[in-house]
Chains A and B, each alone.
Chain A
Amino acid sequence: MPSRPNRVLEEVVVNPLRAGLPEEGITTPCSAVFFGASGDLFKRMLLPAVYSMHLRGMLPTAFALVGFARTPYDDASFRDYCLKQLDLFMPQDKKPQGPLWEDFAKRISYVTADFTDTRHFLALKDRLAQNDAEFGTAGNHLFYLATPPPVFPDIIKHLKEAGLDKDDNGWTRIVVEKPFGTDLESARKLQQAIEAVFPENEIYRIDHYLGKEPVQDIIALRFANTIFEPIWNRNYVQNIQITSAESLGVEERGGYYDSAGALRDMIQNHVINLLALVAMEAPISSHADDIRNEKYKVLSAIRPPAHADVWSLSARGQYGAGTIDGEPVVGYRQEHDVAPDSNTETFAAVKLFVESWRWAGVPFYLRSGKRLPRKVSEIAVTFKPIPHRFYGEATDRIEPNVLVIKIEPDEGISMRFEAKVPGPKEHIRSVFMDFSYGTGFGVVSPPAYERLIGDAIQGDQTLFTRWDAVERAWEIVTPILEVWQHTKDFTFPNYAAGSQGPQSAQHLFPDWRRL
């Protein structure tokens, strides 16, 4: 396990004016290199995030952006390209213009590259040296891999060959987009390729889900309050359901999705990360590795299902034609770039146990799927029923308490409890106590990518996944993947778009919260 602490102060505080100053922005100088800068992720998410940080004064003044991709551009035409994309993807009040855009634009440069040719990486090295001299980026280099994953090893190898794996004057960090591998073996291979060049404290495995404000609020809810921890264990908790559902289909990602499926695409990373946050022990501090150590301990306490148990501990589904919001939609096998006899699951549900003193015997039900009735991400903690009933009319059903942490779309917390219905009878029914971040704070959370890019520049790995956790998550899902892959499901498609999912999920657990 890596040694702590991980959060390294990037600069010794020698500037006395900084002491006690509210953090208005990032001060660490940096050149950020985006591999795959002509791709979709860069133009839709990363470039707007970086420009928005610039507008908010969050970027260091000593900052430069380098695009690195196959599409031929020179600096000027890449700046034009960036301007056009920002015009498309930034909100109306943040369109690029005036001195702020000009200041940003002059920091943009581009290297047309073949990812397998060291000469292009040497050209990148020259460019970074130029940035250091021109913009004072101080030898600090952030390499963001926004390319398709198969290219990652080539990039890493050539970074090393070009001598870009380290800089005598500054730091080097590498941001790796998910998916981190397509199975346990490929993840280990990728890790070997990366760790041969970069140490763990320079690797930032990004899962943008972890940058979402409500995910971070899970820690605050649990550990900034005293009322939850005493009952957050097997003595009081009946089960925990974690759901990440979408009403969308595969959209334009049919080709990728058909080789991935719901288990790889969502459960192995997003959903298991939520499980770790909700089940972990209190970390001894908010330092990255203290939190990540606790998350890893949870994952290491989950026993991967034996192959023989996979069918009793999981359920899979694939959507057929149906209706979403009253509109007819096609089935998965009719989607673009999807094989007409595809065996890929678009719905996955898994039952896991965390074998620890705190959680022994408490089932964790995880599910994720596409073309479900609505988009919802939530964690529902269902508490045990009352031990003895002496109140309420005989016909009343007394429901267990449920605490729901709502991540999307309405961020908030909801508590279900029982209350007496006003009147002479002693009727009992469930009521809800709701807190919504929208009305409670009235703020719009900054997009996850802004937070994560900022954290990477500042060297804070808290919201990035450590290798041991990635590997453990793959180990947990591997038996399921193997059994599913080797067993064609002849019932596919087995749920209609817009329905609650396949019947097999109800067999796994009949009390799923209704979507």
Chain B
Amino acid sequence: MKRISYLIVEGPQDIAFVARILKTFAIKVVNKKSSLDPFWNNLIPKTFPVDDDLLKRVPIPAFFESDAHSIAIHAAQGLPRLVKTLEETRAILDFEKISSYGFLLDADDTQTPVQRFNNLLSELQKSPINIPLSANPGEIVGSAPSFGVFILPDNQNPGTLEDILLQAAQVNYSQLFMAAGTFIQSVDKNQLVPKDIVEFNKPSGDKKARVSSISSILKPGRAIQNSIQDNRWLDGEAMNLPVMQSVSVFLQQLLDLK
């Protein structure tokens, strides 16, 4: 019997990030529906377009398997949708068969992880889901199933996935990291209209731009999650960074990775 786990994250880059960690435990992405553990079949949408929206992506988790594990990582945006995603999945699956589940979220730059965590808890308490809630981010509670929440980058300091990636890039892509910094600094905002730099001016805009710049060399024209998946961002020494260890240990404990 495979150990079945379900993780909810905020976007495709987070999925790629967790996938990269799972890869170190020889847990690989599932491409074909026929190779997927049938437990997950009910999570595969049967209707398109969903919600009448032709531009909306099909809301399906990414699936990862090994001999011992079957893991679904599901992206959703905004706290209400994150919690509703869990509620809907619990309704449609035999959730008693799940060994562990949880959330992996960003703190972003405007809140501390504890604040983000508490916001998540209040959203969870509003819903009919009954979960033994952990008291702090990073803690794992319960068993069969166990539950835990991790707030990037390290459950303590405000920040995002980009903080982790940039720390990792300093280790594995130090020259690219510097080049990206030079490029960002060389941008003359006066040459751009306000609408052009709305995103850049947001709290994590600068970091996102740096990550994108590095990724644009590693995977020109491709989305960042492809680069996170396929390039050496998190290889070797980067995995030993305290911030990486923090996430990795959490995932190992929650998902029982060995």
Tell whether A pairs with B. no
- Chain B interface (Cβ < 8 Å from any Cβ of A): none
- Chain A interface (Cβ < 8 Å from any Cβ of B): none
